[in-house]
């Protein structure tokens, strides 16, 4: 019998942009020098702030932005900051231009899917729900019928209260398993869709009797709802066209089987069905359009076909907001012999607002370094901050950011928690920056594989 081992999920502690929480602007849209994890790059941040406002006002659809600047100047970081500012209700999908070259799926298919993930519609629905703060919850666990080794929630008794009423309800396994999964406990404010049984946790209520509160809790606090426990509630959902495509495809079993034969491509008929449905809902005012953002990083990697696809997509009735980023100057448009600024055809460039990002000075590098070190939980002495800042100025911000974790290993091996200048000397010997490695490659040219 095959051995089944439990695979431990690896939690990536910090990704390369995880320190960025937003654009760091004040109410007037002016950039604070250091805020939300961003340092300097003031003009680009303020420009990005204006873009966010236009997106929110629905004035950006069918238009685009291009971030242009040298490598490591924060173009990708700014695009992520824009996504954070827009919030979860605005669809934002990000791809790297190189992802369109897959052997299984056509380029235009990858782009079509990305575009459809970036266009949302907001649907308001009136639903019957049970809503209130949890006064008591008892989940009954039983052995699973399918797998006698496992236990599953079978049913639950739940007491919900509003400011005006208290009600105890019995729920079946569908709701019970969600209560269990979301760890719903006394003091949580939740609502349950009376028809579908979906459970949604909205937050925690303060001052509920018999509930233990901690000084630091990651959940947000909300008001206890008023009125009856069972009531009609308006629920707002933002779905992307791609969500609807997948839903329709799944409903239509025939399509489901066929589309799995086509290797990850969504059937065109399903898309037409979606578009019809959406335009009907928009006409009847039962839904509103939410133009989201499609971010394509390293846009110079797109080829001429991809560019004309995108230009056309911007002109369509349902179109996303396009954000591109590139670090190339004048270069050939991929797939042609034509040179163009940033490798992008002029007719598309004409529709884009360009936001330049500039190289950082020493002061800014020092601040970004400190933020990254804190995010990664890496301790630096005052001297090593200076040493790394100088190194960053002569090499690149990327290089010193990448060195932080190896440096921590080197320090720990010598039994220290903080990184010292000696550790930096050691790390520089072990890991080369781009310039050093190019020099090395030239020196040993004849020995390296071609």
Ligand X SMILES: Nc1ncnc2c1ncn2[C@@H]1O[C@H](COP(=O)(O)OP(=O)(O)OP(=O)(O)O)[C@@H](O)[C@H]1O
Residues found near ligand X in the complex (CB under 6 A): 16-17, 20, 37-41, 69, 71-77, 327, 357, 368, 371, 397-398, 401
Residue 44 φ/ψ, nearest 5 degrees: -65, -40
Complex with Mg ion: residue 76 or 401, whichever CB lies closer: 76
408 lies in the site for Mg ion, by CB under 5 A: no
What's the closest the beta carbon of residue 213 comes to Mg ion, in angstroms?
42
Question: Exposure string (b/e) for 310-348, b if CB count within 10 Å is 16 or more?
Answer: bbebbeeebbbbbbbbbbeeeeebbeeeeebbbbbbeeb
What's the closest the beta carbon of residue 17 comes to ligand X, in angstroms?
4
Q: Which two tokens stand for residue 257?
A: 């089987």
Complex with ligand X: residue 71 or 437, whichever CB lies closer: 71
Complex with ligand X: residue 79 or 241, whichever CB lies closer: 79
Smallest CA-to-CA distance from 419 within 377, 364, 368 is with 377
What's the closest the beta carbon of residue 97 comes to ligand X, in angstroms?
11
Complex with Mg ion: residue 266 or 368, whichever CB lies closer: 368
Residue 150 φ/ψ, nearest 5 degrees: -105, 155
Which does residue 240 bind out of Mg ion, ligand X, none, counting CB within 5 to 8 angstroms by kind? none
Q: Which residue is nearest to Mg ion (CB)?
A: 76
User: Which residue spans within 259-300 are E strands per DSSP?
Assistant: 287-291, 293-297
What's the closest the beta carbon of residue 401 comes to ligand X, in angstroms?
5
At CA 281, angle to CA 233 and CA 115, rounded to 5? 105
Which does residue 327 bind out of ligand X, Mg ion, none, counting CB within 5 to 8 angstroms by kind? ligand X
| Coil vs helix vs strand at 69 | coil
Q: Rounded CA gap, 194 and 135, in Å? A: 19
76 lies in the site for Mg ion, by CB under 5 A: yes
User: Which residue spans within 100-257 are E strands per DSSP?
Assistant: 119-143, 151-161, 166-171, 188-193, 199-204, 230-240
Number of residues counted as binding Mg ion (CB under 5 A): 1
Of residues 265-284, those binding Mg ion (CB under 5 A):
none
Query: With CB under 5 A as the contact rule, which of the stretches 74-82, 205-213, 311-319, 352-360 interacts with Mg ion?
Result: 74-82
Which does residue 107 bind out of Mg ion, ligand X, none, counting CB within 5 to 8 angstroms by kind? none
- The answer to whether the CB of 152 falls within 8 A of the CB of 173 is yes
What's the closest the beta carbon of residue 407 comes to ligand X, in angstroms?
16
What's the closest the beta carbon of residue 297 comes to ligand X, in angstroms?
7
Query: With CB under 5 A as the contact rule, which of the stretches 76-84, 120-128, 190-198, 310-318 interacts with Mg ion?
Result: 76-84
What's the closest the beta carbon of residue 80 comes to ligand X, in angstroms?
8
Element holding 117 (H helix, E strand) = helix 107-117
Question: Exposure string (b/e) for 151-172, b if CB count within 10 Å is 16 or more?
Answer: eebbbbebbbbbeeeeeeeebe
What's the closest the beta carbon of residue 44 comes to ligand X, in angstroms?
8
Complex with ligand X: residue 69 or 91, whichever CB lies closer: 69
Element holding 387 (H helix, E strand) = helix 382-394
Complex with ligand X: residue 16 or 282, whichever CB lies closer: 16
Complex with Mg ion: residue 76 or 340, whichever CB lies closer: 76
Q: In sequence order, what are the beta bridge partners of 299?
A: none
Which residues of the shown chain bind Mg ion in the complex (CB under 5 A)? 76
């Amino acid at each position: 019998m095959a051995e089944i081992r439990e695979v431990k999920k690896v939690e990536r502690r910090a990704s390369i942009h995880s320190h960025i929480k937003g654009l760091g602007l004040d109410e007037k849209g002016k950039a604070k020098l250091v805020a939300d994890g961003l340092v300097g790059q003031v003009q680009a941040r303020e420009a990005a702030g204006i873009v966010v406002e236009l997106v929110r006002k629905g004035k950006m659809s069918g238009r685009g932005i291009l971030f242009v600047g040298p490598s490591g100047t924060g173009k990708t970081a700014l695009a992520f900051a824009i996504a954070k500012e827009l919030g979860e209700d605005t669809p934002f999908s990000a791809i790297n231009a190189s992802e369109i070259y897959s052997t299984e799926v056509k380029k235009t298919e990858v782009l079509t899917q990305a575009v459809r993930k970036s266009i949302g519609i907001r649907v308001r629905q009136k639903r019957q729900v049970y809503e209130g703060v949890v006064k008591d919850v008892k989940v009954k666990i039983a052995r699973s019928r399918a797998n006698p080794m496992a236990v599953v929630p079978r049913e639950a008794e739940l007491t919900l209260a509003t400011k005006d009423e208290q009600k105890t309800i019995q729920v079946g396994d569908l709701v019970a398993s969600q209560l269990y999964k979301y760890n719903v406990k006394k003091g949580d404010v939740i609502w349950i869709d009376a028809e579908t049984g979906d459970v949604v946790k909205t937050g925690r209520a303060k001052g509920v009797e018999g509930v233990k509160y901690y000084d630091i809790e990651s959940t947000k606090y909300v008001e206890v709802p008023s009125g009856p426990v069972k009531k009609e509630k308006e629920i707002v959902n933002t779905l992307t066209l791609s969500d609807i495509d997948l839903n329709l495809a799944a409903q239509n079993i025939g399509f489901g089987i066929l589309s799995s034969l086509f290797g990850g491509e969504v059937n065109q008929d399903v898309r037409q069905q979606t578009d019809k449905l959406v335009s009907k809902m928009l006409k009847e005012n039962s839904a509103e359009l939410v133009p989201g953002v499609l971010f394509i990083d390293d846009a110079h990697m797109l080829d001429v076909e991809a560019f004309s696809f995108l230009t056309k997509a911007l002109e369509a009735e349902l179109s996303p907001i396009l954000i591109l980023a590139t670090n190339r100057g004048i270069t050939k448009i991929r797939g042609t012999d034509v040179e163009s600024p940033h490798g992008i055809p002029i007719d598309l460039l004409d529709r884009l607002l360009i936001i330049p990002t500039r190289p950082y000075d020493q002061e800014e590098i020092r601040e970004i370094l400190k933020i990254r070190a804190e995010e990664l939980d890496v301790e630096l002495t005052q001297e090593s901050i200076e040493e790394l800042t100088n190194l960053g100025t002569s090499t690149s911000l990327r290089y010193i950011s990448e060195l932080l974790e190896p440096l921590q290993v080197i320090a720990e091996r010598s039994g220290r928690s903080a990184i010292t200048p000696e550790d930096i000397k050691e790390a520089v010997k072990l890991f080369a920056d781009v310039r050093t490695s190019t020099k090395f490659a030239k020196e040993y040219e004849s020995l390296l594989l071609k």
